[in-house]
Every structure is written in structure tokens, then in C-alpha cells.
A and B are shown apart, each in its own frame.
Chain A
Amino acid sequence: MSAFARTDRSLLGQWWWTVDRLLLVGIGILVLMGAIMVLASSPPIARNLRLDGMHFVIRHFLVLVPAALCLFAVSLLAPRGVLRLATMLFAAAAGLTIATLFFAPEIKGATRWLFIGGQQLQPSEFLKPGLAVVVAWLLASKPGLKGLPLSLILVGGTMAVLLLQPDLGMAAVVASFFAAQLFVAGLGWLPIILLAAVGVGGLWSAYTLLPHVRDRIDGFLDPAAEIYQVERALSAVKSGGLFGRGPGEGVVKFRLPEAHSDFVFATVAEEFGIIACLVIVAIFAWLVLRALWRLQLNPNRFVQLAATGLIAQFGLQALVNMAVNVNLVPTKGMTLPFISYGGSSLLAVAITMGMLLALTRRGARLEPIP
């Protein structure tokens, strides 16, 4: 079947024989399902919004094709290339993210988005993968945890900017994948407990200090309060049942805000059934476990830490999105990687997974500069 001979030393040949094809297949299935979802469920939504029926389909594919190319191109990189790309990405995205504080219009109470060429862009989406790789390099370049102070400054600065936007969810994701990286880096149990305490304290202060956070959490905990979107999402899931109402046949989705983006999981449940949802959960779980399994076999510290940061943010994003859709956690605007309708998040996720693929290639290693 293979197009490449074992002895093929070309870039593509090497890539084909070293890349983790099981990861690649998992990502491919997700991209395919996302495309099917957009084709099946977005035309009625578009017409409902008085847009052209193919509005979302066209836009999705306009982003999907470059995203897929990006993913492939990035996965061709050697670890050093990944580091270079990540550093540039981090520097650029950090600059743009800081710029949002001054130039971005306020949308729904936050300044997260820039408009470039008529396209909405959330620079912090690209900041995440860059930061993960750069921090991993800082940690891995020195023995033990001697790289910790510098990486702490970087992460702390990033979180400060994110909290100023304010984008609490993104800050929490950054904190979480950084914690995962420290954990894998061999942080002692006592500091881990302390770190967890700091995290809980941070959430608590967010709850007490930020009114919109408090409203959401109170609304989630209060069984009498019904948050419109969540309630709609739940009725969509229930309306679908095990096998769904059929592609394009959803009815609750018309009254479900963000049915094609943040709440696409509920739309899948309504049209394709809970079984399809379970398949999606399984694929995400498969990707995360497969990546972690590969890392465990690779003794290179930079690769381990960088890939841990990348897969952790990918897995967390999927987990939080699905948990919101099934009302396990309070509402948090986050897209479902590859399944949600396009936009800058799709591109960022493609770069993230491209770097992950590059780092999980067989024999990937990067020695610290002595």
C-alpha cells in the first residue's frame, strides 16, 4: 500500500516511516466528522440566520484546507524546527495578544479578538502551543528543575495578559498544561500539592472578584436556575436519543445559540445520536492516550515536555467543551477541536497537532545546548 519504499530517504519518505500513523488516522477521522457535521447541520442554521445555505460550509472548508496543509507541513519539521516555529509563533502571538488589550473591540465583555482582513482572529489561540513548546525547552535545557524560574516568569506574564482581557478560561488552560508539564518534569509531590492549592485559590478569587464568573458558577450550582444555552443543549441531546434524528433533521438546534461552534457537540447528539457522541469521545481519548503512550517510550526530555503541553491543551479543550455540552461544568466558551465550525481556532489546533505529530515521530530528539 505504501507509496514510499523503506529506503526512501526523502523528506516525505522519512516522514511517512517515522510519523505515528495511528495518531494521524485519529486526527483524520475528526476532521472528516467535522466536515460531515458542517455539511449536514449548518445549512439550515445558515438559512435560519438569513444567510446563504452554504455560508458556513464554504467558510469551514476555506479554513479547513489551509489548516490541513499547515498540519502536514508542521509535522514534517524536526524537533529543532518545531522549537523555532514555536518561538516565532509565541513571540508573534504574544505581541498580538498584548495588542488586543489596546486595539481590539470589546465583544461580549472581553477584548480577545482582532480583525484581520475581515477575519476574526483570537491571537491567544496561537499563543498556547507556542508557549507550551518554549516552556518545555526552558525546562529541558537545564538539569532537574533549574529552568523553572524562567518558565514561571513566561507563564506568569502570559496569564497576566490573558486575565486582563479578561479570558479566564484560556488562563486556566495555560495554567493546567503548564502544571501537567511540571508534573511530567518530575516536580516533587509537596510542590504539586502547593500548586494545586494555588490553582484552587486562583479560581476562588476569580469567583469572588469577577461578577460574570460568579454568575455562571452560581447558575450552574443552583438547580432552579436554567441557563438558556445549556438547557437548550440538554434538550438537544435528549431529543436525539441513542441514534439521533438524522443528518440535518435537528430541530432544537434552531434555538441553540452557537449550535455550529461551541455547542456543536449537542448538535451532533441531536442529529447523529448519543452513540456518535460516544465515538467522538473515544477518538479524543484515543488521541490523548496514544500521544502519552508514545512519549513514555521516548526518553528525550524536551520532546516529552513539549508534547505533554501540546496534548494536554488539546485534550483539555475537548474535555471542557464536551463537559459544558452535557452540563457537567459551568458554561465556558471553548471550541471542540476539529469538529466545531472553522475560524482561527481550527487553524491553531491544526498547528498544535502538527507540532505534536512532529514531536511524536520515531527518534525525535533535541539535546539541550550544552
Chain B
Amino acid sequence: MSEHDKQRMNGIGAVRLRLLALCFVLAFMSIGLRLVDMATAGQRTVTAGPSQTEDGVELRRAAIHDRHGELLASNIVTLSVIGDPLLMNDPETAAIALARVLDGVNAAELNARFARGGRFAWVKRQISPAEQAAVLELGLPGIGFQLGERRVYPRGREAAHVLGFVGIDNQGLAGIEYGLDAALQGGAALGKPDLALSLDRRVQRIAHAATKAGVDRFSAEGACTIVLDVETREVLALVSLPDYDPNRAERAPPEARRNRCTGDVYELGSLFKVVSAAMALESGDVSIYDRFDASESLRIGRHSIRDFRGHQRWLSVPEVFAYSSNIGTVKMTFAAGGTEAQKPFLDHLGLFSRPQLEIPETTQPLVQERWPDIVAATVSYGHGISVSPLQFTEAVAALVGDGKRLPATFLRRDPETLPTILEQAPTVVSERTIKDLRWLMWLTVERGTGANGGVQGYMVGGKTGTADKPTGSRRGYDGRAVISSFIGVFPADTPRYAVLSVLDEPKGDAETYGFRTGGWTAAPVVSRIIAQAGPLLGVPKKSPEIEAAFTDRLQVMPVMNGRTRRMEDGFAAASLTR
């Protein structure tokens, strides 16, 4: 190799080494730039912090209000006791000491949790300030506190079944908390507004107290009460008894957590005659002036249909309704077309389908698969079909309100968009049927079985129901237990609100002369709610003119064999019963 070659090779070597150095500089610079990029990105995520669960910061949850802004569910900051077993001097004695000051903590179980390994163990979640002081007093190493949130329901059990409850990690487990969990999770931290429900806390409280009183007085197994805004189908109040305190939902028995208003279905008995009457009148084949022979019990196949209290005579349609005649209702149903007319009508009302609600506790109605005449007959007086109380109230609101099918809701409806929604909603009954039905319900309270549902100063319409309670295990009814109910609408001339109360197995007392029928047990509950909530909701007192117009309608009832007087006499003497 010549000296010149050496020189050249070395020259190349030096150049190549510089090029190599350049490559390394670029590579190290890209790592440096990436680090700087991550440093700034890291700061960005810190500012968006509250949504992180990683570092123990729990999610915030939006509050729930009633329609007037009263707080129904909110959060408070609580501490949880946590332990790091590796930092403890002696986990076993620590567990014993902690169990002594913390209610509900078992020393052996806690020690097992400490021994499981890892650097983290819950000791007790959501402690009180007194418990925190006691733990601090122990001065144990390796024991610390973690900030968290706890859901609180300041109204306790009042609206438990609507609100539902949350689990230990603030995840919704029932009611609105579950149904609208996604809208609540994160709360203000994620820009989610507080939730306004359709409930009216004042009405809810009245309904709760009245239902509780009814259950106590008649020793009922349970009860359910619904107050529905007829115009908007907003639920103003919903009570299901027995109930529970959502603040301590984990201690409530499953029986108490059941939402009887939406999650259970009942054969509502004579209450269902509201629907049957509407169907018959809407068919055009039955007019309010028609009469039916209710003098003898009715035989369909091997079944015999009787009235609770027979009248042994022809009854006009208003009498059939107001006295709650099974025979008359069945005859009316068949006069209107029987199965062919009944089935589509019920379907159209939404009584065959599972309601869509904001809460998860809904049930598919129980409907017979086959629909022979006997089914059409029993369904007409509310047996052989089971629907949820809220679903039924929604149907009645359609029949006495605007004739439109509109689903009930637990959220506020925007008054601006409501007319458009109603316009698009399917029509189920005509204006004439609505008017007739309002009058029939008024008549039932005024002169019929629903007298106990009346309220001084208000025009109230209603319908009573008393259904035999099916036996739990076998098919059929044991004939001893009943489901008694009453649905009231007020004011009766243009109903603004519907109130349904259902009592499960009420027992009659001396004051009710031993009767446990809807008219004697459920009607007083509804009456009390209307009396207390009516003034609060600004419902106008009855006007003499309108009442006169309603009363006058009795006079223009058709004359048949000069029996008009007799019919009026009948109403005047009307007592009790279904």
C-alpha cells in the first residue's frame, strides 16, 4: 500500500467517522425530542385529572333533583381506610386493633387480606369522621386513608324505587342510578349536568305517607302508588312498599328492593273495566245509552261468570261501570265484537308489550297466548291479563286525557316539544269516548263503588278494583287473598292527574265493615293523596256549573219501560262493593 493510498483511505475514514457521528447525533436528538414531547403531554393529562381512577381519585357523579330542583341524590366526600402490609410492623396486631375501632371489620378476615400479598388492602370503605379519629389514634404504620365519594339520598326511603342505589364504587345498581348511569358517571368533571327528574318531591312525600298509612291500617303485604301527570305522562310520584333506605341499600332484603309499580305485574281485576268500557264505546257498537241483562249469571263453556253483588235486573252502561258488574262488562265486550275488537285495542294501548322506562325494573305483561271467548270475557274484567301498575296508569291517562298513546317517563318533558310529540303519537280513542269515560268515572265516585275515593271540593273520577290474588305455586286462586286497587283521576271533567293505588292482601277492619275491596281500602289512600296534593298542584276546585252539567247527564239517560227514575234511585242507594 503506497503512502498516497494510506493518506486517501485515512481521509475517507475521517469523513466516514464524521458521517457516523452525524447519524448518532440525529438518533440521540430524536430520543431527546420524544422525551420533551412526553413531558408536555404529561402535563396535559394532569390538568384533565379528575376522571382518572388510577391514582385513587374516584369519579364524581352527577346529582339528581326533582322537578323543582329539590335535591334527591348527591355526594359527600368520605375517607376509606387502606393498608400497605409491607409497611406494617405486625399486620396481625394491626388487624386486631383496627377491628376493635372499626364497626363491621373482622380481625381474622382483615389479617387474611393483609397476608394475601401485594401492597394494597382495603380495611374499611367510607368511614365516619369518628372512625377516622379512632384510626389516627391507633397510630399504626402502613395504614392510610384514601379520599372517595359516597352517594347520599337526603330524602331516605321516600323515592327509593325511582332513584335506585349505587354500589361501593358508585356504580348505579338499580332505578335511575342504573338506567341513566352513563349520564351520571363523571358528573361536572366530565361536563355532565345534574339530572332533573319528573318527580315532585312534595307529592312523592304525600303519596309515600298515604300509602304507608294504608298499608299499616289494612295490614297489607305491600302496596304501590303512582301519581301521573295526565297531560305529559310525567311520573310525579311513585311509591312501592315495602321499601328501603337507598343509603343502606345493601342491607335491604330483596323483597323491599322490588319495584311493584313497574317490575311486578298484577291482574288488576275490575280496574281493567276502564279499558273495557273505552273499548266498547270506541267500537261504535255500544253506546252509553245501551242496557244489558245482568239478572242471571253468565255461562261461557263450563265457566260461570257472576257479579260480586248481583242486581238481578237489566243494567244501563253507566250502572254496569259504576256498580262494576262483571256480567254487564262481559256482555258489553261481546256486543263490541269480543276478541276481534278487544285484542287489537289492548295491543294498541301498549298493554301487550314491555314498557320502555328510564329505570331497568320493567316486566313483560303476562298475556294469554290463545284468546278464546272465555279469555276475552275474563280479560274484560281484569283477569287472565297481568300488567304493571304504571303501564295501566299510562293507559288510563291516554283514555281519559288526550286519547294518545304516550309512554310514561321519569324525566321532565320539554313543554315546547310536547305538542309535536303528541301530534306524532298514535291515537287510541276518540274525543267522544274520552268524554263518556270521564263521566263514567265521575259517576263511579259520585254514586258508585268509588265513593270513598271522593274528595270534598274536587271533582274526582275513579274506578275500583278487587282481584283475587293468584296462589304463588299452583294455577288458580286461593280465594282468600285479594289485590285491591283504585285509580282516581282529577279534576274529573278534564283530568290533569291520575292516581293509582294498589294494596296487596289488605285485611278489612271494623271501620270498613270487614270489606277489603278496592273501594274500601285503596280508594281512601287515593282520596287522601288528592286532598293533600290537589291544592299543592293548583288544581281548580269544582265549579257548580260543570258539576251541574255532569249531574244533568243522568237525567237525559234513555227511558226504558219508564225505569229512568228507578236507575237514579239505584244510584242514590248505591253502596259499596265492586
Instruction: Establish whether residues B45 and A285, one from each chain, have CB atoms under 8 Å apart when the complex forms.
Output: no
Instruction: Establish whether residues A254 and B119, one from each chain, have CB atoms under 8 Å apart when the complex forms.
Output: yes
Which chain B residue has the least Cβ–Cβ distance from A185?
Answer: B13
**B contacts with A: majority SS:** helix
Instruction: Establish whether residues B35 and A186, one from each chain, have CB atoms under 8 Å apart when the complex forms.
Output: no
| A296 touching B18 in the complex, CB below 8 Å, given contacts A274-B39, A304-B13 | yes
The answer to whether B5 has its CB under 8 Å from any CB of chain A is yes
Instruction: Establish whether residues A326 and B35, one from each chain, have CB atoms under 8 Å apart when the complex forms.
Output: yes
For chain A residues 220-253, which have a beta carbon within 8 Å of chain B? 234-235, 237-242, 251
Q: Which residues of the other chain, B, contact A308 by a CB distance below 8 angstroms?
A: 17, 20
Interface size on B, residues (CB 8 A): 36
The answer to whether A72 has its CB under 8 Å from any CB of chain B is no
Query: Could you mark each residue 202-236 of chain A with 1 if its beta carbon is under 8 Å from any beta carbon of chain B, else 0?
Result: 00000000000000000000000000000000110
- The residue that A285 contacts in the complex, of B6, B13, B24, B35, with Cβ under 8 A, is B24
Q: Which residues of the other chain, B, contact A240 by a CB distance below 8 angstroms?
A: 42
Q: Which residues of the other chain, A, contact B14 by a CB distance below 8 angstroms?
A: 296
The answer to whether B537 has its CB under 8 Å from any CB of chain A is no
Q: Which residues of the other chain, B, contact A278 by a CB distance below 8 angstroms?
A: 32, 35-36
Q: Which residues of the other chain, A, contact B41 by a CB distance below 8 angstroms?
A: 238
For chain B residues 35-52, which have a beta carbon within 8 Å of chain A? 35-36, 38-39, 41-43, 45-46
The answer to whether B28 has its CB under 8 Å from any CB of chain A is yes
Instruction: Give the complex CA separation of A296 and B35 in angstroms.
Output: 31
Instruction: Establish whether residues A289 and B32, one from each chain, have CB atoms under 8 Å apart when the complex forms.
Output: no
Instruction: Give the complex CA separation of A295 and B34 in angstroms.
Output: 30
Q: Which residues of the other chain, B, contact A363 by a CB distance below 8 angstroms?
A: none
One of A121-129, A157-165, A315-323, A351-359 contacting the partner = A315-323
The answer to whether A9 has its CB under 8 Å from any CB of chain B is no
- The residue that B20 contacts in the complex, of A184, A277, A322, with Cβ under 8 A, is A184
Q: Which residues of the other chain, A, contact B17 by a CB distance below 8 angstroms?
A: 184, 292, 295-296, 304, 308
| A301 touching B31 in the complex, CB below 8 Å, given contacts A47-B86, A285-B24 | no
The answer to whether B16 has its CB under 8 Å from any CB of chain A is yes
Instruction: Establish whether residues A274 and B38, one from each chain, have CB atoms under 8 Å apart when the complex forms.
Output: yes
The answer to whether A39 has its CB under 8 Å from any CB of chain B is no
Instruction: Establish whether residues B36 and A289, one from each chain, have CB atoms under 8 Å apart when the complex forms.
Output: no
- The residue that A186 contacts in the complex, of B13, B20, B42, B54, with Cβ under 8 A, is B13
Instruction: Give the complex CA separation of A143 and B12 in angstroms.
Output: 14
The answer to whether A180 has its CB under 8 Å from any CB of chain B is yes
The answer to whether B25 has its CB under 8 Å from any CB of chain A is yes
Query: Could you mark each residue 286-305 of chain A with 1 if its beta carbon is under 8 Å from any beta carbon of chain B, else 0?
Result: 00110011011001010010
Q: Which residues of the other chain, B, contact A235 by a CB distance below 8 angstroms?
A: 54
The answer to whether B1 has its CB under 8 Å from any CB of chain A is yes
Q: Nearest Cβ in chain A — how far from B412, in angstroms?
A: 40
Q: Which residues of the other chain, B, contact A143 by a CB distance below 8 angstroms?
A: 1, 5
Q: Nearest Cβ in chain B — how far from A158, in angstroms?
A: 22
Chain A interface bracket (under 10, 10 to 19, 20 to 34, 35 or more): 35 or more
Instruction: Establish whether residues B28 and A319, one from each chain, have CB atoms under 8 Å apart when the complex forms.
Output: yes
The answer to whether B106 has its CB under 8 Å from any CB of chain A is no
The answer to whether A312 has its CB under 8 Å from any CB of chain B is yes
Instruction: Establish whether residues A315 and B42, one from each chain, have CB atoms under 8 Å apart when the complex forms.
Output: no
For chain B residues 418-461, which have a beta carbon within 8 Å of chain A? none
Q: Which residues of the other chain, A, contact B368 by a CB distance below 8 angstroms?
A: none
Instruction: Give the complex CA separation of A48 and B10 in angstroms.
Output: 55
Instruction: Establish whether residues A312 and B13, one from each chain, have CB atoms under 8 Å apart when the complex forms.
Output: no
Q: Nearest Cβ in chain A — how far from B119, in angstroms?
A: 6
Instruction: Establish whether residues A239 and B10, one from each chain, have CB atoms under 8 Å apart when the complex forms.
Output: no
The answer to whether B168 has its CB under 8 Å from any CB of chain A is no
The answer to whether B89 has its CB under 8 Å from any CB of chain A is no
The answer to whether B30 has its CB under 8 Å from any CB of chain A is yes
For chain A residues 40-65, which have a beta carbon within 8 Å of chain B? 47-48, 50
The answer to whether B27 has its CB under 8 Å from any CB of chain A is yes
For chain A residues 260-286, which have a beta carbon within 8 Å of chain B? 269, 274, 277-278, 281-282, 284-285
Q: Which residues of the other chain, A, contact B13 by a CB distance below 8 angstroms?
A: 184-186, 296, 299, 301, 304
| A326 touching B36 in the complex, CB below 8 Å, given contacts A288-B21, A299-B10 | no
Q: Which residues of the other chain, B, contact A48 by a CB distance below 8 angstroms?
A: 86, 119
Instruction: Establish whether residues B9 and A186, one from each chain, have CB atoms under 8 Å apart when the complex forms.
Output: yes
Instruction: Establish whether residues A326 and B34, one from each chain, have CB atoms under 8 Å apart when the complex forms.
Output: yes
Q: Which residues of the other chain, B, contact A292 by a CB distance below 8 angstroms?
A: 17-18, 20-21, 24
Instruction: Give the complex CA separation of A292 and B13 in angstroms.
Output: 11
Instruction: Give the complex CA separation of A312 and B30 in angstroms.
Output: 17
Instruction: Give the complex CA separation of A297 and B20 in angstroms.
Output: 15
Q: Which residues of the other chain, B, contact A277 by a CB distance below 8 angstroms?
A: 35
Q: Nearest Cβ in chain A — how far from B117, in angstroms?
A: 8
Q: Which residues of the other chain, B, contact A326 by a CB distance below 8 angstroms?
A: 31, 34-35, 38
Instruction: Establish whether residues B16 and A281, one from each chain, have CB atoms under 8 Å apart when the complex forms.
Output: no
Q: Which residues of the other chain, A, contact B10 by a CB distance below 8 angstroms?
A: 299, 301
| A301 touching B9 in the complex, CB below 8 Å, given contacts A183-B20, A238-B41, A296-B17 | yes
Instruction: Establish whether residues B42 and A288, one from each chain, have CB atoms under 8 Å apart when the complex forms.
Output: no
The answer to whether A328 has its CB under 8 Å from any CB of chain B is yes
Instruction: Establish whether residues A281 and B24, one from each chain, have CB atoms under 8 Å apart when the complex forms.
Output: no
Q: Which residues of the other chain, A, contact B45 by a CB distance below 8 angstroms?
A: 238
Q: Nearest Cβ in chain B — how far from A263, in angstroms?
A: 15
Query: Could you mark each residue 33-73 of chain B with 1 if its beta carbon is under 8 Å from any beta carbon of chain A, else 0?
Result: 01110110111011000000011000000000000000000
CB pairs A–B below 8 angstroms (27 shown): A48-B86, A184-B17, A234-B38, A235-B54, A238-B42, A239-B42, A241-B46, A251-B55, A254-B119, A269-B35, A274-B38, A278-B32, A278-B36, A281-B32, A281-B35, A288-B21, A288-B24, A288-B28, A289-B24, A289-B25, A292-B20, A296-B13, A296-B17, A301-B10, A315-B24, A319-B27, A319-B31
Task: Give 4 A-B pairs besides A47-B86, A48-B86, A282-B32 with Cβ atoms closer than 8 angstroms.
Answer: A143-B1, A186-B16, A288-B21, A289-B24
Which positions in A face B, CB cutoff 8 Å?
47-48, 50, 143-144, 180, 183-186, 234-235, 237-242, 251, 254, 269, 274, 277-278, 281-282, 284-285, 288-289, 292-293, 295-296, 299, 301, 304, 308, 312, 315, 319, 322-323, 326, 328
